[in-house]
Structure 1
Amino acid sequence: MKKSIKTAVVTLTAFTLLFTSPMFTPIIPEEVKAETSMTQPLRLAGTSRYDTAIQVSQSGWNYADAVVLARGDDFPDALAGVVLAKSSLVNGPLLLTETAQLSEGVLEEIQRLGATKVTILGSPGAVSEKVENTLTDQGLTVERLEGANRYGTAGEIAKAAVPQSEKVFLASGSDFPDALSISSYAAAQGIPLLLTEKKSVPEVTLETLQALGVSEVTLIGGEGVILPEVQAQLEDLDYTVDRLSGADRYGTNLEILNSLSFNTEAVYIATGAKFPDALAGAALAAQNNHPIVLAPPKAFSEEGMSYLGSRRDEGAAFTLLGGWGVISYGMESIIRTGNVNPKISLQYWDGYASYETYLRQLSLIPGKATDYVDYVSPNWRGSIGTDGSLKLVWDEGSSNYKQLTNMAHGLGMKVLPLINGSGATLNTLLKSPAAREKLIGEIVVLLKNTNADGVVIDFETPLDYGDVKDPYDGVRNDLTAFMESLHSELQSMNKLVVMAVMPRMSSSQYWLDAYDYEALSHAVDYLHVMTYDHHYRTSAPGPIAPYPWIKQVLTYIQGQGVDMSKVLMGIPYYGRDWVVDGKDANGNPTYNSTAFGYSKALELADSYGATITYSKYNDADPVGTPTFKYTDEKGVEHTVFFDDYTSWNAKLSIINEFGLAGVGPWAMGWVDENTAEGLFPLLNQHLR
């Protein structure tokens, strides 16, 4: 039973943005809503096909008296077994095992379910007697359904699952995709699924048809997989025969999806190139008659995109079956957004937020969240020790982590906790292989305990980066080694790794030598270049992220050999208000500043009657950065620089110019209801 967790719904009214530069098209954002609710899991994926089946089972069943167990390295037995899993005889999950021995974790999952009975599919050649003995030794009742071959086994399964049926589905026994496409529907409707040879129906299958009392047969797949002779053979035996088919496995899948009645509140997506993930997922989908869409390796057809688009418009929840190796990042983005060239939107979920603040920020994201945001990154790091120990902001047993993750997942987004730090502590940690290993272990525990989808690493200067004479005597190699090890560990868990790196304009900035940008880009899924803080808290007043400077930084990164399609560009959601706070040793003024968001900047300008102008960084700056000055009640002069929709729009245009992966703005803590009205539609325009 899934719990529903909801926060306040925020309705944002539409308005028109008028831009001063003719380079940029005015934006008329749509009305947007936000609602957080826990729904389907985004992705069910384990470290292997056997583990994925366990993950599916854990997602769908808190208890089951019985389970079905099939071999995981071949498909025929398990195809027919989906109907059995949904039947009253079992009403439990379908688990997979190796032939020679019971796969790791399977017995524990059976015990978690409280199951007392296991139905093994296939002969000892498919699931060995050693596996059967392992189960019986645990006091479980074990039944085996087998025939002389795959066709006979499918018949025995059908007779056990649905002893009497007027109708059957008949699919190829030589390949799996067509049977997978129909399996969840067949199971949900209690219609047996049998297998046939290409040219003729095996005698054992004909015997099963007769035993079941079948009068109607629906062939699944085109004439290339089941020849017309099969239909003629059945019709000669007085069966009514029809066919569901398409030009290929994906066409047949769509024909099934469009011809039959499914509950499309949830849609399961599995690769059409391999069978194991969809086998276990079909049993889960069958619980509520949800469809399974077969995803092609590279691109959906126009018809496939149309089907997904219709389901997306209806508000369907998409659950992907299997890890990144079977359904890639890019394919997932296409499925969730409908855009064949989507750009990534990583939103930092406030730097140091309370639980309630996280909820408020989540509520500002429009209802179709993946039209605007792919990943949210909360800062749950309390501290990092020199030994690699990681302390979190809330107690270890706090439910806050999982609740926030579930709510973000309910909107279709992934959660990537931010692990940040700087200075001598990091230097000591990175110099120690043992400490690096410990921190990786702590991150793994964090992700497992919170159900998060990956991590953002933000290790900033000052690190021990060496000096101008010997710039490589610091932690450059150690930082790269840490990221390589972390990526290897998390990749095996189907988790994402993003690294935030300092912006650099030239090789003369030797204090940034800790970042080997090219090497690091191979050790991450995305490299977030923090193109903001060009002018910072204690600098002289100036733009936070001027357009020409961003391009200069990206040009340098590109020149280091970095694949720019993995780079996220930093965007500041904040501005600064500077005042002179003293003088340095040479008598020059020193500054301090406070940060705030767009709405506060407008409020200040209005309250002091200040005129907002656009300051251009240089002649290459198309619109400049909004700025104004005012004098407060104490006679102190203030200088303010911030960003608005005009300057954000200009900077977002850089994404396509450099072929970037997307953006990583800092941070949602400065976004309020008024800012969200235009900001999220602006992101949608440039990223989707």
Structure 2
Amino acid sequence: MKKRIKTAVVTLTAFTLLFTSPMFTPIIPEEVKAETSMTQPLRLAGTSRYDTAIQVSQSGWNYADAVVLARGDDFPDALAGVVLAKSSLVNGPLLLTETAQLSEGVLEEIQRLGATKVYILGSPGAVSEKVENTLADQGLTVERLEGTNRYGTAGEIAKAAVPQAEKVFLASGSDFPDALSISSYAAAQGIPLLLTEKKSVPEVTLETLQALGVSEVTLVGGEGVILPEVKAQLEDLDYIVDRLSGADRYGTNLEILNSLSFNTEAVYIATGAKFPDALAGAALAAQNNHPIVLAPSKAFSEEGMSYLGSRRDEGASFTLLGGWGVISYGMESIIRTGNVNPKISLQYWDGYASYETYLRQLSLIPGKATDYVDYVSPNWRGSIGTDGSLKLVWDEGSSNYKQLTNMAHGLGMKVLPLINGSGATLNTLLKSPAAREKLIGEIVVLLKNTNADGVVIDFETPLDYGDAKDPYDGVRNDLTAFMESLHSELQSMNKLVVMAVMPRMSSSQYWLDAYDYKALSQAVDYLHVMTYDHHYRTSAPGPISPYPWIKQVLTYIQGQGVDMSKVLMGIPYYGRDWVVDGKDANGNPTYNFTAFGYSKALELADSYGATITYSKYNDADPVGTPTFKYTDEKGVEHTVFFDDYTSWNAKLSIINEFGLAGVGPWAMGWVDENTAEGLFPLLNQHLR
């Protein structure tokens, strides 16, 4: 018996599936690893376009003699000003402001840089005299570059930045994408960027061409944006004219990227749908002649994917300009992985761990961590008070939090601390708007102090309070209100919100009425449905997360109107060893248990010579759940259920069947080196 079990261990370690079925693909970890190439992007995003510009400035400049200041609610002046920002006249960042008053934080950023001069772009109708006076009152030298309109202002900017130029780029003054696409290159090369109308070149632009001594003009954009008449008009004036264009704004962007010589060690990504966050980023990209790629709202073209793939293969870094509302999580994953349908891997770092244990678990992720994991969730909550106070596991000033966050960030993963609660304490907290607000404030402080990227909320078994007709009405409304408020607050900080909810498979489970699954899914970035503990601590022995039951739960959730592309499916990394420990009042057996991971289950079966079989939940179960029984030295009979590569593989196949966002297993504390060797390649195969 022992020999046979040992053979099974060797077979599983070699990742050979213990079944043959057309619905499963054999696991070949090395091939999966070889095909994977990922880079974790940096994201520059603030709470507003003005704050984003400040973050861009802080990212790129420690000091600058001068800065450029443009209005943030329109694009022409700022994009023309990118060339000025890179010029020897400034060599500093491009900041944005509201028209009527200097936006919050801008003056402080100018002072941080040690700048003594500010170039304001546009007339007082673009940036008011009040803004100019505010700057002057601080002892700053202010120079305004303005024309009678956007075309004239672009001309004045060009003449200040590059007084003599043989060549200019000419883009539409009516829309931003083409000017944005060329802006970093134009600035890096010291080539003026001017603007034109669709049908003809404005007189003020022609005057600028003459003043600069230009002989060559490159039109940026297709004939639907700048008509052929413009080219003819310029050629009639003896200018050499060529054009960079594609079928649309994204095609023009790619034509620029492929036709011109950029430094592609770093690539900047901006949305092609809106301009604000990209304006200041163009000046940062221009510092070292880095390209700007325009990201569509939904999907890159084949050519766009190819360009990004080539940059990833070269080891380029990616910087995203703007928050999650501008460039979504899904789009970031596409940029990072090259997979047009990437899935999320949220790994609960550990339920309750020491600093050293967290480090050990982090070390189990093989090779490039982002081949297998996107987010890790440590549990740093010590306790939650009924007043919303949050106590952490280590002292508030402990360096452990930031050190662990930095280590995860260094591996390219995001960190989402777990905040959990249950029962009467949770109910008292939820009933109080003041307590809910306090807890949100505590979470904000936690994220700021630890540099974490968001939070996972796990509120379980809330008790009923409401009216007689709907006992859970009160707690349901308060729980949803809390999540909506939390998401609104953290979204403004560009932080992620995940909520873990208990699994439900029918309306008869009234004790789960506190969860309005649809409303909660709309108040979070991801909804983690904890599809485990079907057989739980004190239940009769049985599979913890049987395949058919998972599908029943997800079918119910789907029927509630939940967007399944936001759902993370739970799988257990743990097994349970049940024993009878007595009888209840009716004479039925009661149970207790011991929990352990996959490797321990195999060791236990081996040590007692037990035979591992696969128990099927019902006829719809394709492989079943590994199980065995043994009798210990005291004569006590044990029943064990756990999961292995075979059952995990079956469950992970459900992700694509339901179009889920990904997976959220519990928890890395049950994973050791032997388990990790096969588990992480399995995750890679299904998620990447």
Do they fold alike, i.e. is TM over 0.5?
Answer: yes
Of 90-99 and 60-69, deviating more is: 60-69
Offset of 1:33 from its aligned partner? 7.5
Does 604-613 or 81-90 show the bigger shift?
604-613
In the alignment, the residues of structure 1 paired with residue 10 and residue 253 of structure 2 have an alpha-carbon distance, to the nearest angstrom, of: 39
Distance 1:600 1:40, change over 3 A: closer
| 1:74 shift after superposition | 1.4
Change over 3 Å in CA distance of 1:641–1:263 after alignment to 2: farther
Separation (CA, whole Å) in 2 of partners of 1:269 and 1:103: 25
Tell me if structure 2 keeps the 8 A contact 1:11–1:34: no
8 Å CA contact 1:468, 1:510 repeated in 2: no
Larger displacement relative to structure 2 (305-314 or 395-404): 395-404
Q: 1:462 to 1:121 in 2, by over 3 A?
A: closer
Q: CA deviation at 1:71?
A: 0.6
C-alpha distance after superposition, 1:569-590 (max 9, x if no partner): 1111111233344454555544
Say if 1:261 and 1:354 are closer, same or farther in 2 by CA, change over 3 A. farther
User: Quick one: structure 1 residues 152 and 506, their matched pair in 2 at CA, closer, same or farther if it must change by over 3 Å?
Assistant: closer
Deviations 1:98-126 (A, max 9, x none): 11111122222222333322111112121
- Offset of residue 292 of structure 1: 1.1
Q: In 2, Cα distance between the equivalents of 1:467 and 1:195? A: 65
Pair 1:212–1:13, CA change in 2 (3 A): farther
Q: Report Cα offsets for 1:270-321 as digits up to 9, x if no partner.
A: 1112211111111122223221111122322221122222223333333222
How far apart in 2 are the matches of 1:284 and 1:12?
51
Greater mean alpha carbon deviation, residues 350-359 or residues 298-307? 350-359
Change (3 A) 1:432 1:320: same
- The worse-fitting range, judged by mean Cα deviation, of 119-128 and 346-355 is 346-355
Distance change (3 Å), C-alpha of 1:591 and 1:504: same
CA contact (8 A) 1:578 1:591 kept: yes
Per-residue displacement from partner, 1:154-193 (whole Å, max 9, x unpaired)? Answer: 2322233233444332222222111100111222233222
Cα 1:158–1:39, aligned 2, differ >3 Å: closer, same or farther?
Answer: farther
Deviation at 1:96, TM superposition (A): 0.7
Give the whole-Å Cα distance in 1 for the aligned partners of 2:175 and 2:162.
Answer: 23
Aligned-pair CA distance for 1:489: 2.5
Whether the aligned pair in 2 keeps the contact of 1:529 and 1:567 (CA below 8 Å) is yes
Q: CA deviation at 1:466?
A: 7.9
Partner of 2:381: 381
Change (3 A) 1:480 1:338: same
CA–CA separation in structure 2 for the residues paired with 1:8 and 1:64 = 66
In the alignment, which residue of structure 1 is the partner of 2:23?
23
Q: Which runs of 4+ in 1 moved over 6 A?
A: 1-14, 31-40, 466-470
Deviation sequence 1:190-214 (CA, Å, 0-9, x none): 3222223334444443444444444
2: CA distance, partners of 1:116 / 1:17 = 69
The residue number in structure 2 matching 1:538 is 538
State how 1:288-437 maps to structure 2 within 5 Å.
288-365=288-365, 369-437=369-437
Q: Distance in 1 between matches of 2:161 and 2:352?
A: 55
Q: Deviations over 1:471-519 (max 9, x none)?
A: 3376232222212222232333333322111122333333323223233
1:36 to partner: Cα distance: 16
Tell me by how many angstroms 1:13 deviates. Answer: 11
- Cα deviation code 1:443-475 (max 9, x no counterpart): 222233333332211011263568999633762
Are the aligned partners of 2:40 and 2:336 in contact in 1 as well (CA < 8 Å)?
no
CA distance in 2, matches of 1:504, 1:141: 65
Deviates more, 1:498-507 or 1:25-34: 25-34
Looking at structure 1, the residues matched to 104 and 35 of structure 2 have their Cα atoms a distance apart, in angstroms, of 39
Cα pair 1:38 1:410 within 8 Å, conserved: no
For residues 303 and 14 of structure 1, do their structure 2 counterparts lie closer, same or farther at Cα, with a shift above 3 Å needed? farther
Shift of 1:145: 1.7
Q: CA deviation at 1:550?
A: 1.6
2-side partners of 1:23 and 1:204: how far apart?
A: 68
Q: Deviations over 1:414-433 (max 9, x none)?
A: 33221111122111111111
1:626-650 CA distances to partner (integer Å, 9 max, x unpaired)? 1123344555543321111110111
- CA deviations on 1:117-156 (whole Å, 9 max, x unpaired) are 2111112121111000111112222222223332332232
Q: Give the direction of change, closer, same or farther, for the CA distance of 1:81–1:302 in structure 2 (3 Å limit).
A: same
Instruction: Sort the Cα spacing of 1:653 and 1:32 in 2 relative to 1 into closer, same or farther, 3 A.
Output: closer
Moved more, 32-41 or 639-648: 32-41
CA distance change for structure 1 residues 41 and 337 in 2, over 3 Å: closer, same or farther?
closer
- Unaligned runs of 5+ residues in structure 1 are none
Q: Name the structure 2 match of 1:204.
A: 204
What SS does structure 2 have at the residue aligned with 1:169?
strand
Q: Is the 8 A contact 2:5 2:611 kept in 1?
A: no
Displacement of 1:552 in angstroms is 2.4
Note closer, same or farther for the CA distance 1:272–1:561 as it changes in structure 2 (3 Å cut): closer
Contact 1:34 1:367 in 2 (8 A): no
- Contact preservation (8 Å) 2:578, 2:594: yes
Residues 1:362 and 1:229: Cα distance change in structure 2 (over 3 Å): farther
**Contact 1:614–1:627 at 8 Å: present in 2 too?**
yes
Deviation string 1:313-365 (CA, Å, 9 cap, x unpaired) is 33333322222332233333333333333333222222223344434434444
Q: Which moved more, 1:47-56 or 1:381-390?
A: 47-56
Aligned residues: 688
Deviation at 1:384, TM superposition (A): 0.9
Percent of matched pairs sharing the same residue: 98
Distance 1:544 1:379 in 2: 22
Say if 1:5 and 1:682 are closer, same or farther in 2 by CA, change over 3 A. closer
Does structure 2 retain, via aligned residues, the 8 Å contact 1:476–1:516? yes
Compare 262-271 and 465-474 and name the one that shifted more. 465-474
Call closer, same or farther: CA 1:314–1:7 in 2, change over 3 Å: farther
| Stretch moving more, 147-156 or 626-635 | 626-635
- Give, in whole Å, the separation in 2 of the partners of 1:563 and 1:35: 30
Residue 363 to residue 184, structure 1, CA distance change in 2 (3 Å): farther
1:449 aligns to 2:410 (yes or no): no
Q: Which moved more, 1:39-48 or 1:639-648?
A: 39-48
Q: Does the 8 Å CA contact 1:36/1:363 hold for their aligned counterparts?
A: no
> Deviation string for 1:354-406 (max 9, x for gaps)?
34443443444455555533332222222211110112233334444344444
Change (3 A) 1:40 1:660: closer
1:9–1:363: 8 Å Cα contact kept in structure 2? no
Distance 1:58 1:382 in 2: 35
CA distance 1:564–1:38, change in 2 (3 Å): closer
Q: Contact between 1:40 and 1:410, CA under 8 Å: does it hold in 2?
A: no
Cα distance in 2, alignment partners of residues 417 and 6 from structure 1: 39
Of the structure 1 ranges 14-23 and 668-677, higher mean CA displacement relative to structure 2 is found in 14-23
Structure-2 change in CA distance of 1:5 and 1:280 (3 Å): farther
Change (3 A) 1:232 1:605: same
**Larger displacement relative to structure 2 (195-204 or 114-123):** 195-204
How far is 1:522 from its partner? Answer: 2.8
SS at 1:7 equivalent: helix
Contact 2:462 2:514 in 1 (8 A): no
How far apart are the structure 2 equivalents of 1:76 and 1:314? 34
Q: 1:15 to 1:659 in 2, by over 3 A?
A: closer
Change (3 A) 1:7 1:539: closer
Q: CA deviation at 1:546?
A: 1.0
The answer on whether the counterparts of 2:347 and 2:664 sit within 8 Å (CA) in structure 1 is: yes
Structure 1 residues 663 and 40, CA gap change in structure 2 (3 angstroms) = closer
CA 638–313 in structure 1, closer or farther in 2 if over 3 Å, else same: farther
Provide the rounded CA distance (Å) in 1 between the counterparts of 2:7 and 2:535: 37
Verify the 8 A CA contact 1:548 1:618 in the aligned structure 2. Answer: yes
Corresponding residue number in structure 2 for 1:642: 642
Q: Deviations over 1:34-72 (max 9, x none)?
A: 999999763222222222212222222333332210011
Q: Give per-residue Cα distances to partners, 1:599-658, cap 9 Å, x unaligned.
A: 222233334433221111222211111112334455554332111111011112222333
Change (3 A) 1:240 1:49: same
Shift of 1:27: 1.5
Does the Cα contact within 8 Å between 2:376 and 2:416 map onto a contact in 1? yes
Contact 1:9/1:34 (<8 A) preserved: no
Aligned twin of 1:177? 177
Q: CA deviation at 1:685?
A: 3.1
Distance 2:477 2:547 in 1: 32
Please tell me whether the aligned partners of residues 4 and 39 of structure 1 are also in contact (alpha carbons under 8 angstroms): no
Compute the RMSD of aligned alpha carbons. 6.0
Partners of 1:281 and 1:19 in 2: how far apart? 53
Gap change, CA 1:301 and 1:36, over 3 Å in 2: closer
Give the match's secondary structure for 1:31: helix
Q: Secondary structure at the residue paired with 1:277?
A: helix
Q: Distance in 2 between matches of 1:539 and 1:486?
A: 35
* Deviations, residues 531-552 of structure 1 (Å, cap 9, x unaligned): 1012223333221111122222
